[in-house]
Homo-oligomer: A and B are copies of this chain.
Amino acid sequence: MRRIYLITYDVCDPKRLRHTFRCLRNWGDHLQYSVFECQLTETDLLRCKAELAEIIHHKEDQVLVIDLGPAASRRDDLVEAIGQPYSAMAAPCLVI
B49 touches A82 (CB 8 A): yes
A72 at interface (Cβ–Cβ under 8 A)? no
Instruction: Tell me the dominant secondary structure on chain A's binding face.
Output: strand
A contacts, CB < 8 Å to B: 6, 8-10, 31-35, 49, 52-53, 56-68, 77-86
Q: How far is the CB of A93 from chain B (nearest CB, A)?
A: 10
B83 touches A77 (CB 8 A): no
A62 touches B80 (CB 8 A): no
Cβ-neighbour of A32 out of B56, B64, B81, B85 (below 8 A): B64
Most chain B beta carbons < 10 A, residue from A31, A66, A67: A66
Contact sample, A vs B, 13 pairs, CB 8 Å cutoff: A6-B6, A6-B64, A8-B8, A8-B35, A32-B64, A49-B80, A56-B82, A57-B83, A58-B84, A60-B83, A62-B83, A63-B83, A67-B79
